[in-house]
Chains A and B, each alone.
Chain A
Amino acid sequence: MRFGKAAFLLHRRAAAAAVILALLLAASCLAYLCIGESFVAPGEVLKVLTGQPSPDELVVGTLREPRMVVGLLVGAAFGVAGGLIQTVARNPLASPDIIGISQGASALTVGAMTLGVTSATVLPYLSVLGGIAAAALVYVFAWRGGLHATRFVLIGIGFAIALRSITTLFMTKGDYLVAQQAQIWMTGSLNGRGWTEATPLAWTLLVLLPFVFWAARAQRSVTMDDDTATALGVRLGHVRLGLVLLGVVLASVATGAAGPVDFVALLAPQIARRMTRTAQIPLLCSALMGALIVVLADLLARRLFSPTELPVGVLTAAVGAPYLIWLIVRSRSVRNGGTS
């Protein structure tokens, strides 16, 4: 940003985008709580949210609200995780579902399902473990005196493909009921999620929040070219490691709560960046966009074919991808580069 005025305008644009996304998100949340098997008037929903007595306490407060909270947090976590990984990889195609995190989580979880583990308390921890373990493996193999962007992504994809094929092999080994359960989990679902999942998820993300603020600042040094950053005394290796680590933890925790809701992490940061037209991926807007995609997708997933509920992951791409496509189609700036 060479010109103060331009920088100010861009800044204003980013702020405007954040405000618009926040308003859309609030509206979507209200719609989410109103719409369902029985329609609840917005007034009653607000009563429940503010803790006043209401006949709809059970439907709104016990069933819809915690599920929505899980969706919000999962979407925001994926959005930020995707933004961080795309920044470090300098490649818009990089995301947790491409560099092996989702596949590590899936391999361990589906493997356990095939062996007959069904416990809802064990499986989430297995998937967090699987995601972090896969990322650690990728990191160890990709590290060679530093974390070179393309090397990191290529090795990540290699592991992702290997883990995914192991998972599909597991899918052919069990009977088809297990395969179906595994398929739903791998698609990502908020079905039956409640405070049991929402509370630990909220605490975990709260603990991670300061790191996200650090990441938002640290991102800038990574988007410069290596020589400039080094000349300025930035220890690129450490910064990249920190950003990737945060992305991995966020994505793994979100996957533990809802399964690997693929593509949210890929789409949300790209849409956010195209909205704000900034050089870096705006993390706040990515988080809002991710949350918006998941909440809207789950609302559709609940109602589209009711009484049958679809897994939310079926519709996240259907909500997010068309918008990204529209943004690509009407894009004005033509730039070639790793992240543009």
Chain B
Amino acid sequence: MRVPARRAVAMTAAVVALLLAVLLSLSVGARAIAPSAVFDALLHGGHTDAAEVVREMRVPRTLIGLMVGAALALAGTVLQGITRNPIADPGILGVSQGASVGVVMAIAFAGVHTLTGYVWYAFVGAGIASVAVYAIAASGRGGATPVKLALGGAAINALLVSVTTGILTTKASALDEFRFWQVGSLSGRDSEIVGQIWPFLLVGLVLVLSVARGLDALALGEDVAKGLGQKVATVRIVGGLGATVLTGAGVAAAGPIAFIGLAVPHIARAIVGSGHRWVLPMAAVLGPVMLLVSDTVGRVIFPPSEVPAGVMTALIGVPFLVTLVRRKAVAA
């Protein structure tokens, strides 16, 4: 099969997998609901218990899973592209940690105790962290080189972790609340959160897709990228801004769910090659697949309690990553 045809097939398969994941997420849980009943509840309404469960709890939860999964996977793909470092992701570069600091401060000092209240603080935190990382990397001679971006991110991440732990070790009440958000979960999210974050997701999506070609050029090295007529700094700033908005939205809605931003880009590249015009959409489809499947498995694995999505993501994702990384040389 020719390469473009193979990519199209892979993309179709990924979309089918996503539809299955959505269906599972709507039907599986403490109360199993047949797919036919799910469709019935979605299309015709009704007020049976099953219909209520689907509409009130599982639809928002599934929507959040879709959005957060796509957001984190896209953010990770862009950050790996910008820093040309295969282990870059929103976590290691301090963006997620920025959002966490925002939430810790909201709990400890602003008396905010609801998820919808956390969102703005998480956003501001992620934004400040990203600006700081870029400002550090862009200063000095040579501008924002991949290594300076990576190290600047690591340094800012370290500082932000110390702010977080500083507050948590001195304010027990904040820790008591924060630990449940920190684990990363999709449960208890309602449609209000969906309404809050979708505009940001859209903006982030447009930003990262607009730099797809630029990221391809960057992968060849900065000088080549300049030779190809790409404005390297613009690509980095626009891409970074997109990654920040996406991470802020994702982390605000579901807590700092790790792994998706790191692993999904690698899996996507393994399937469709390294061109970002394919990798970005693929990541946007695979991210939610991974998150929704993890969340659904977490609901039923140890009944009656739920294992949070943030934990399941890593437990299910590790075997994937290991297999992938062992199978071939890692394209970064």
Contact = CB atoms under 8 A, between A and B. Distances in A.
Interface of A: 91-94, 98, 141-142, 144, 148, 150-151, 153-155, 157-159, 161-162, 164-166, 168-169, 171-172, 176, 179-180, 183-184, 187, 262-263, 266-267, 270, 305, 308, 310-311, 313-318, 320-322, 324-325, 328-332, 334-337, 340
A340 B165 contact: no
Interface string B237-249: 0000000000000
A96 to B, nearest CB: 14
B148 A331 contact: yes
Interface string B143-168: 00111101110111011011001101
Contact of A98 (B92, B145, B175, B313): B92
User: Taking chain B's interface residues, is the majority helix, strand, or loop, or is none over half, making it mixed?
Assistant: helix
A127 B314 CA distance: 21
A181 B142 CA distance: 45
Closest 4 CB pairs of A and B: A334-B142, A317-B158, A162-B314, A317-B162
Contacts of B192: none
Contact of A158 (B86, B137, B308, B317): B317
A153 B92 CA distance: 13
A98 B321 CA distance: 16
B151 A317 contact: no
Given A92-B150, A148-B329, A176-B179, 6 more contacts: A93-B88, A154-B325, A158-B314, A172-B308, A262-B161, A321-B156
A314 B165 contact: yes
B155 A328 contact: yes
Contacts of B15: none
Interface stretch (B63-71, B203-211, B256-264, B274-282): B256-264
A90 to B, nearest CB: 11
Most buried by A among B91, B151, B184, B308: B151
Contacts of B317: 158, 162
Contacts of A311: 165, 169
Nearest to B320: A158
B133 to A, nearest CB: 10
B147 A187 contact: no
Interface of B: 84-88, 91-92, 136-137, 139-142, 145-148, 150-152, 154-156, 158-159, 161-162, 165-166, 168-170, 172, 175-176, 179-180, 182-184, 221-222, 258-259, 262-263, 266, 307-308, 310-311, 313-315, 317-318, 321-322, 325-326, 329-330, 332
B152 A151 contact: no
A180 B172 contact: yes
A266 B158 contact: yes
A325 B162 CA distance: 15
A165 B147 contact: no
Most buried by B among A141, A153, A157, A184: A157
A213 to B, nearest CB: 28
A158 B259 CA distance: 7
B158 A91 contact: no
A308 B169 CA distance: 11
Most buried by B among A154, A166, A308, A313: A154
Nearest to B167: A314
B258 A165 contact: yes
B301 to A, nearest CB: 12
A159 B318 contact: yes
B136 A328 contact: yes
A330 B137 CA distance: 10
B310 A165 contact: yes
Contacts of B326: 141-142, 144, 151
Given A141-B326, A165-B183, A324-B155, A331 B140 contact: yes
A340 B221 CA distance: 16
A330 B259 contact: no
B258 A164 contact: yes
A189 to B, nearest CB: 9
Nearest to B316: A162
B52 to A, nearest CB: 28
Nearest to A156: B87
